[in-house]
Chain A
Amino acid sequence: DAGVTQSPTHLIKTRGQHVTLRCSPISGHKSVSWYQQVLGQGPQFIFQYYEKEERGRGNFPDRFSARQFPNYSSELNVNALLLGDSALYLCASSLTTPGTPNTEAFFGQGTRLTVV
């Protein structure tokens, strides 16, 4: 079985540009979450989607948005990129929402975004 797949693996963008990151969850998983991991820190929660609806949003500006498609894949969009947006963006997939007992999240390899 394929795990969580994210694309692209790396990309470099210029300040002010827009970026779209993609995630395909494990087959059968209906929940996708996005996390930002800045170098030297733990991942920080950005969004959680379940059954194509946003169920949670972290403390990130409105420049960050996401959506989940009917096939449960997801996109994370970031507008007006800042240097501080440089990070590893991780997608996590789970059967149900995190916090449901016995639910565990499976993480992709991440997308390394560098803003110059």
Chain B
Amino acid sequence: AQSVTQLDSHVSVSEGTPVLLRCNYSSSYSPSLFWYVQHPNKGLQLLLKYTSAATLVKGINGFEAEFKKSETSFHLTKPSAHMSDAAEYFCVVTDSGTYKYIFGTGTRLKVLA
């Protein structure tokens, strides 16, 4: 069965410092993995996706994620945090042939001035 574990419910960083949001997944087959961001009172916006091409995926706003099959991880990183990055981030998994996305519980990122 598919599942996603986001290892931190809250992360605080100072503006200009690196961001690391951790995600581990469980999947039976060949997964597709996504990171979505949700700003307050907004819908979900796709940051990046992994679909079995390059293991290092680049997304919008300077975010990256690396797919590591041996560690079943898909951690999200950014070299330098900006105040506008403060939001809730969701790691999502789906399998080929399925019809739904499985969301993690979310990580709330706080960026300190």
Contacts and interface: CB of A to CB of B under 8 A. Distances in A.
Interface of A: 4, 33, 35, 41-45, 48, 50, 55-56, 58, 90, 92, 97-110
A101 B32 contact: yes
Which 6 A-B residue pairs are closest in the complex by CB-CB distance?
A42-B103, A56-B99, A99-B98, A107-B44, A45-B100, A109-B43
Interface of B: 32, 34, 36, 42-46, 49, 51-52, 90, 94-106
Contacts of B49: 104
B95 A99 contact: yes
Contacts, number: 69
Given A43-B90, A99-B96, 7 more contacts: A33-B101, A42-B106, A97-B99, A99-B97, A104-B49, A107-B43, A110-B43
18 contacts: A4-B43, A33-B100, A35-B103, A42-B105, A43-B101, A48-B99, A48-B100, A56-B100, A92-B44, A92-B101, A97-B99, A98-B94, A99-B96, A99-B98, A101-B96, A103-B32, A107-B44, A109-B42
Contact of A45 (B42, B101, B106): B101
A42 B104 contact: yes
A2 to B, nearest CB: 13
Q: Per DSSP, are chain A's interface residues mostly helix, strand or loop, or mixed? A: loop
Nearest to A48: B99
